C-alpha cells in the first residue's frame, strides 16, 4: 500500500510503501493492555500507556477511552526509494 506525505490531489508526494499486517477494532483503553512495547511502536513519545490515551483523548474531543478505534499494524516495505531490511 502506498504512503503519501499528504493527499495526492493536494500535491502530495509518494514517500513509501507499507504492508498491512493486521487490523483490530478495539476499545481505546485496551492500549494499556498492550503495554510499553506498543509505546515504542508509536514512536516513544509518551511516558506511559495512560499518557498516550490521555493525549489521544485530548486530540479527539468528545471521545471516551471506552470508544472503539481501529488499530492498524504495518511494516515498512520501501521508504523514500530504499527497501527496508527484514531480519
Provide the 3-class DSSP secondary structure of residue 66: coil
Cell of 10: 493536494
Q: What is the pLDDT of residue 81?
A: 67
Q: Considering only CA atoms, which of 27, 29, 4, 28 is closest in space to residue 17?
A: 4
Q: Considering only CA atoms, which of 31, 16, 28, 11 is closest in space to residue 65?
A: 28
Q: How far apart are CA 18 and CA 31, in angstroms?
A: 22
Which pLDDT band holds residue 40 (cuts at 50, 70, 90)?
confident
Q: In this predicted model, what pLDDT tens digit does every residue of 41-85 receive, in sequence order?
A: 887 888 888 898 999 999 999 999 999 999 899 998 998 866 666
Amino acid at each position: 500500500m502506498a504512503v503519501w506525505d499528504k493527499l495526492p490531489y493536494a500535491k502530495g508526494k509518494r514517500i513509501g510503501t507499507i504492508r498491512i499486517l493486521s487490523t483490530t477494532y478495539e476499545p481505546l483503553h485496551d492500549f494499556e493492555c498492550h503495554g510499553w512495547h506498543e509505546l515504542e511502536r508509536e514512536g516513544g513519545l509518551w511516558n506511559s500507556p495512560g499518557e498516550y490515551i490521555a493525549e489521544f483523548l485530548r486530540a479527539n474531543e468528545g471521545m471516551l477511552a471506552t470508544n472503539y478505534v481501529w488499530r492498524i499494524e504495518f511494516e515498512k516495505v520501501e521508504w523514500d526509494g530504499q527497501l527496508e531490511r527484514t531480519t
